[in-house]
Chains A and B, each alone.
Chain A
Amino acid sequence: MDNLNNLPSQPGKRSRSIRHMKISPFLAGLVLGLGSALVQAYFKVIPPVAYGVCMVCHPKDLFNWIADHLFHLSWGYSLASTNWPLLTVLGVVLGAMVAAYQHGELHLKSARQPLFFFINGFLMINFGLILGACPIRIVLLSAYGNLLGWIGWACVVVGVLLGTWGQRWSARRAAALRG
C-alpha cells in the first residue's frame, strides 16, 4: 500500500515523501570516498595525492587562485589548481542549498554566539591548513596508506575526545558554581 501511495499520479503524497527523504550517512560517505578517488584518477585532481575532497585546502586554492589572478599576490595554491581553481566548496554549498530548498529546510535563522563561532572558524582553517587536511582528507590520506594520515586521523579523534571532555568539565563547573 505504501508503494501505491508513492505513485506519481498522487502529487501531494509524492511531494510529502520527497520532503522526508533521508539518505544514510554510510551511503553518502561511500559516494564521497569513491567520488574523491574517481576525480583523482581520471579528472586530474592531483597532485598532491588523495586530494579529491578537502574542505580547507580547496577553499584555500580557490581563494588564493582568485587573489593571485586579480591582485598578483603570489599566495600559494596546489598544482591541481594551476590552470583553473577547484570548485568543490562552491558545489557543496550549491548542492546543500538545492537539497534544503527541495525539502523545505531552507530557512533563515538568526545567529547565536557569533564571536565564539567566528573564532572557531578562524582557528579551524589555520589548524587545518597547518595539518594540510580537513577531517575528510585525513580519512582519504589514511585510505591511501599515508602514515602521517593515520597519525593525523588518530590525533583528530583524540582532539574530539579532549574537546568533548573539556566541554563536559566546563558545563559541570558552571553547574557547580550556580548550585
Chain B
Amino acid sequence: MIASIATLFLGFAIGYLGQRSRLCFVSGYLDFVLTHDTTLLKGVGGAFLGALAGYVLFNFTGGSVPGFPMILQTSVVISHSAWIITIVSGLGVGIIGALSGGCPYRMHVLAAEGKKTYWVYLLGFYAGLVFYDLVTVHLMDMLRTVLR
C-alpha cells in the first residue's frame, strides 16, 4: 500500500514537472543531435545525478539500497543471451523513440495535455502490452532457451 501511494505522489510530481519543463529522455539526445541544444539533455544528466546522489545518500542513511554500487559486485555474471537481448532491445527503444519524437514518459504527459495523437500512441502502447503478455513473453522464453 505504501509503495502505491508513494509512486502516485512521485508520479504526480514528475508529471507536473515534466509538463512544465518538457523533460524527455529521448528528445534530450534528439535535440542535441539535430540542433546541438543541450537544454533537455541536462534533464537526463540531472536524473542521473539525482539518482546517484539519492542512492549514495540513502545507502549511507540505512535505506533499502541493496548491492549498491552494482559495478563492484564481482560475482555478477552476464549471460550471452542477456547481452544480445539488451543490445537489440535498447536499439529498438532508441529507434522507436526517435521516430515518435519522445520517450513513453513524455508521451503520457503530451496525452494528458489533450493531444489526441498521443492518445492513439497510448492506445497502441497498451495494445502492445496485451500482445507482450500473450505472445512476446513466450517468444522471449523460447529465444533465451535457444541462445543458452
Contact of A32 among B9, B23, B52, B100 (CB under 8 A): B23
> Which residues on B sit within 8 Å (CB–CB) of A45?
3, 6-7
Q: Please, which residues of chain B bring their CB within 8 A of the CB of A76?
A: 133, 137
**Count of A-B contacts judged by CB separation below 8 Å:** 454
- Quote the shortest CB–CB distance from B129 to chain A (angstroms): 5
| A143 to B65 Cα, complex, angstroms | 12
**Contact (A139, B18) CB under 8 Å given A39-B7, A160-B94, A160-B97:** no
Q: Does B123 contact A (CB under 8 A)?
A: yes
B105 touching A136, Cβ below 8 Å: yes
- Interface of chain B: mostly helix, strand, loop or mixed: helix
Contact with B along A121-134 (1 / 0, CB 8 A): 11111111111001
Which residue in chain A gives the minimum CB-CB distance to B29? Answer: A160
Do A143 and B52 touch across chains, with their CB atoms under 8 A apart? yes
Question: Shortest CB–CB separation between residue B38 and chain A, in angstroms?
Answer: 10
User: Which of A103, A128, A142, A163 has most chain B Cβ within 10 Å?
Assistant: A163
- Tell me if A123 and B92 are in contact (CB < 8 A): yes
Task: Tell me which residues across on chain B come within 8 A of A1, comparing CB atoms.
Answer: none
Q: State which residues 74-107 of A face B: CB under 8 Å.
A: 75-76, 80-81, 83-100, 103, 105-107
Question: Among A27, A73, A93, A100, which residue has its beta carbon within 8 angstroms of that of B46?
Answer: A27
B interface residues, tally (CB under 8 Å): 111
Complex-state Cα separation, A103 to B112, whole angstroms: 13
Within 8 A of A (CB), among B70-95: 70-72, 76, 78, 82-83, 85-95
Residues of chain A in range 101-156 having any CB-CB distance to chain B below 8 Å = 103, 105-114, 117-131, 134-136, 138-140, 142-148, 151-156
The answer on a CB contact under 8 Å between B103 and A136 is yes
Which bucket holds chain A's interface residue count?
35 or more
Residues of B within 8 A of A (CB): 1-23, 25-26, 28-30, 33-34, 39-40, 42-55, 57-59, 61, 63-72, 76, 78, 82-83, 85-100, 103-105, 107-109, 111-129, 131-133, 136-137, 140
Q: Which of A45, A53, A92, A103 has the most CB of B within 10 A?
A: A92
Cα separation A134 to B25 with both chains bound (whole Å): 9
Nearest B residue to A140 via CB reads B51
CB distance from B108 to the nearest CB of A (A): 5
Contact of A128 among B70, B72, B104, B121 (CB under 8 A): B104
Q: How far is the CB of A47 from chain B (nearest CB, A)?
A: 8
Q: How far is the CA of A75 from the CA of B115 in the complex (A)?
A: 31
State in angstroms the CA–CA spacing of A166 and B98 once bound together. 10
| A82 shortest CB reach to chain B, Å | 9
Say if the beta carbon of A40 comes within 8 Å of chain B: yes
Q: How far is the CA of A96 from the CA of B107 in the complex (A)?
A: 11
Asked if A164 meets B116 with Cβ closer than 8 Å, knowing A86-B7, A124-B100, A155-B91, the reply is no
